[in-house]
Structure 1
Amino acid sequence: MFSPLVTFPALYTATLLMLAGSGLFTTYMGLRLTAEGAGDLWVGGLMAAYYFGLVCGGKFGHKLIASFGHIRSYVACAGIATVVVLLHALVDSLAIWIVLRFVLGAVMMNQYMVIESWLNEQAESHQRGKVFAGYMVAVDLGLVVGQGLLAASPALDYKPLLLVAICFASCLIPLAMTRRVHPAKLVAAPLEIGFFWKRVPQSLGTIFVAGLMVGAFYGLAPVYANRNGLDTAQSSLFVGMCIVAGFCAQWPLGWLSDRVNRAWLIRGNALLLCAAAVPMWGLIQLPYWALLANGFVTGMLLFTLYPLAVALANDHVEQPRRVALSAMLLTTYGVGACIGPLFAGALMHRFGPGMFYMLVSAYAVLLIFWVQPKRVTGLHRVDEAPLHHVAMPDTVSPMSATLDPRVEEVPEELVVEAPPNIGRSDGAPDKAS
């Protein structure tokens, strides 16, 4: 039986280490800036800069991989990421930190693209679902491990930065030592903004709102927890619980999504999210266990909006356009994730930490009115709809579209051949192990 964890151990290990460093770094920066009194707007600005780097990094990453090859570009970007993290220990300027966060987002997008394109090329079509699921497990497990590392080393000194640098440097090792055949082609996923806005406006709106909420969550949820009296270890556990909840909810919700109208499911999700966030508004003082419980429930609902919207969009777009659809959805999500932390940080700075979950409720109400099942006419519904629901991590690149089992094959016009012999410095072809 095919086991992706055995077949692609280097790629999954690199992903886990990379996300462990990223998750630890994001939470640490939020808590450190809060402890130093920098203000929630700066925390939101740092997170927005990171997502802006991810959005801009797609074009940069494609050119870098095409010019230097997968391993070389990955090694270069992992090295840059390590340097960027260590620079935070040498430079105390918040303005420079914002620039560094942008650079980190851009180089990490390249790393996502390398891993996802590699997995796609070497996974057969009937294995793609398992490969994608294994990748998602590595992404979410890495984020949770990052929170665990911070809980184990809760002092907000420079030690967590060293742990982040170790994770970013360690993710080099599996890919540098792998003997698998290097990918030979890249996929340029174009944007067709006008077409998709007319075809799947409700999905795009849901994706944008999900980006507003999730982008703000990663940067400001630790701040919210800290301002509610939680220490560093407790704050990291709170964030980790929310991430675990979203991960655990993906598969049962996927089962339900294949059997219930997805537009109604998104509205129901938004309604429950609005209600679940109310106790977190700060109107009453919740004990620690109640914060964890409510965080778990809101995490389940928050992190499942993105895959639900992706599934709804795929039901109404033909298979040859699904790679372009994924690029459009991810770009929309990235734009939302850039705006969300800035807006939430400004309101939290002005009105207090409870504004974070007040915004979550407000965004949920917006979705309730935006997603109207009666407007889903079925005019462009594909013959095989509803397509099988696929659990989706929210931290991916446009290259992940080709891993999605709903994409049967990559259209030829989207394939860009890489330069020959990019895998080896001596020009010799690579050999599989």
Structure 2
Amino acid sequence: MDFTNVEQSKSSTLVPVSGLSFFAVASGFLMSLIPLSLPSFGLSESLVPWLASIFYLGILIGATSIQNLVSRTGHRIALILFLSALILTIIAMLLMPDAVVWLIARFVAGFAVAGIFVVIESWLLMADSSKQRAKRLGLYMTSLYGGSALGQLAIAPVGISGIAPYLAVICLLMLAILPPLLIKRGQPSCEQHQKMKLSELKGISRPAILGCLVSGLLLGPIYGLMPVYINNQVQSTDQTGMLMAVIILGGMLVQPLVSHLSSRISKSLLMAQFCLFGTLGIIGVLEAQSFVIIATSYLVLGACSFALYPIAITLACDALPVEKIVSATEIMLLSYSVGSVVGPLFAANLSDSPDGIIFYLGACLITTCIYMLIKSMQKAHGEQWPLSQ
């Protein structure tokens, strides 16, 4: 497909990053608002894991069918359409506070969010070098997680009851639409997006695919279930919002480090190191007695959990031509979505312990750490094992 934008030499980061920033604040607030606001709409808290899983199921389905729309409309129009669809799902939830309607709305919202992620990620990853891609992805992740952390802090001043918080989310999403609506230049100048063939999928790094899968297994429960867990832990809505913000703030603060290190050391080893430190954060959450130590532990857990996806996706795109980037981001998002769909259900049902979600996150981190260490050692010693590096 030919794009008619003026900037044919390279894509600009202004539109995707500015739109992403408003979207991230809205999305961060919404992800915690939904599980905490269910009682005010007369809905059962037993819906929480199902709402989280069906949202990520929507992302999974969306990740398999986004490329055609992007190819037909271009990145800018596609971003406007997906943000608009997300707004409509929130309006439907407010007009019909029914469990079935909310489940359907969250599924459609997941599809729309998949589109937003694929459009913005591929927009930024269409760069000339792996170093520039890592830098752009670091900017993307910093904007995403910084906005999400800020959104968590809205819980205390805006509240969690009634329609007012949801109207605030809608206003933020409308602001996110303005940059792509008003700025028509700067979308990617790639003339054609190419679908990856089945034979080419074998060449994608297995640690990259697993890294995205585990990222979903971690972040699905963190977004979907952690607000309820923290609220039960600290018995304070204000502190719940603060600790959720701390988790996501950790994800934001670690992005410059991820960007710096991912082009200098083995990405498999880097993911192993973050998983190891994340396990230490899990221990801190379980054993800490003071609020400061608990907050620090959540900061470390958030930093390590949110570090995996950008490392994995840059690993997957390192050896790919620019016309394959949209297709590759779809595949990585698909892997992430599979983890995000099953993660909340596993975390909610794996253990009857009040700390079940924490035990689940710890198990994901330590097993991934071991796998990534094996892969990095295999690569360092030049052994030829069946699995791709």
- Whether TM exceeds 0.5 here: the answer is yes
Q: How much does 1:312 deviate?
A: 5.3
Map Cα deviations across residues 216-254 of structure 1 (whole Å, 9 max, x no partner).
111112111111134222212111111111221233345
Structure 2 equivalent of residue 97 of structure 1: 102
CA distance in 1, matches of 2:73, 2:259: 39
User: Which runs of structure 2 are paired with 1:247-326 in the superposition (5 Å)?
Assistant: 247-281=252-286, 286-310=289-313, 323=325, 325-326=328-329
Structure 1 alignment gaps of length 5 or more: 1-6, 387-433
Residues 137/380 of structure 1: CA separation in 2 closer, same or farther (3 Å cut): farther
Structure 2 equivalent of residue 187 of structure 1: 193
Structure 1 equivalent of residue 18 of structure 2: 13
Residues 60/228 of structure 1: CA separation in 2 closer, same or farther (3 Å cut): same
CA distance in 2, matches of 1:192, 1:294: 42
Residues 135/369 of structure 1: CA separation in 2 closer, same or farther (3 Å cut): closer
TM-score, structure 2 normalization = 0.80
Identify the match of residue 39 of structure 1 among 22, 45, 48: 45
Structure 2 equivalent of residue 365 of structure 1: 366
Aligned-pair identity in percent equals 23
Asked if structure 1 preserves the Cα contact closer than 8 Å seen for 2:220 and 2:343, the reply is yes
> Which segment drifts farther, 234-243 or 255-264?
255-264
SS in 1 for 2:27: helix
Q: How much does 1:363 deviate?
A: 1.2
Residues 286/13 of structure 1: CA separation in 2 closer, same or farther (3 Å cut): same
User: Which runs of structure 2 are paired with 1:106-117 in the superposition (5 Å)?
Assistant: 106-116=111-121
Residues 110/257 of structure 1: CA separation in 2 closer, same or farther (3 Å cut): closer
Output the amino acid matched with 1:32: S
Asked if structure 2 preserves the Cα contact closer than 8 Å seen for 1:16 and 1:139, the reply is yes
Structure number with the higher helix fraction is: 2
Map Cα deviations across residues 132-186 of structure 1 (whole Å, 9 max, x no partner).
4433332222212211222321242221101111112222222222242665645
Structure 2 equivalent of residue 208 of structure 1: 213
CA distance in 1, matches of 2:231, 2:369: 30
SS in 1 for 2:63: helix
Structure 1 equivalent of residue 35 of structure 2: 30
Residues 327/375 of structure 1: CA separation in 2 closer, same or farther (3 Å cut): farther
Asked if structure 2 preserves the Cα contact closer than 8 Å seen for 1:212 and 1:337, the reply is yes
Map Cα deviations across residues 354-383 of structure 1 (whole Å, 9 max, x no partner).
1111111111222233231443354689xx
CA distance in 1, matches of 2:356, 2:343: 13
CA distance in 1, matches of 2:205, 2:75: 34
Q: How much does 1:34 deviate?
A: 7.0
Q: How much does 1:307 deviate?
A: 3.3
Structure 2 alignment gaps of length 5 or more: 1-11
Q: How much does 1:321 deviate?
A: 9.7
Point out the structure with max Rg over C-alpha.
1
Structure 2 equivalent of residue 329 of structure 1: 332
CA distance in 2, matches of 1:20, 1:264: 32
CA distance in 2, matches of 1:23, 1:191: 35
Residues 137/206 of structure 1: CA separation in 2 closer, same or farther (3 Å cut): closer
Aligned length: 368
Asked if structure 1 preserves the Cα contact closer than 8 Å seen for 2:52 and 2:341, the reply is yes
Output the amino acid matched with 2:156: A
CA distance in 2, matches of 1:206, 1:124: 24
Q: How much does 1:335 deviate?
A: 0.9
Residues 166/132 of structure 1: CA separation in 2 closer, same or farther (3 Å cut): same
Output the amino acid matched with 1:334: S
Q: Does 1:342 align with 2:345?
A: yes
Structure 2 equivalent of residue 226 of structure 1: 231
Structure 1 equivalent of residue 87 of structure 2: 82
CA distance in 2, matches of 1:267, 1:117: 26
CA distance in 1, matches of 2:163, 2:59: 25
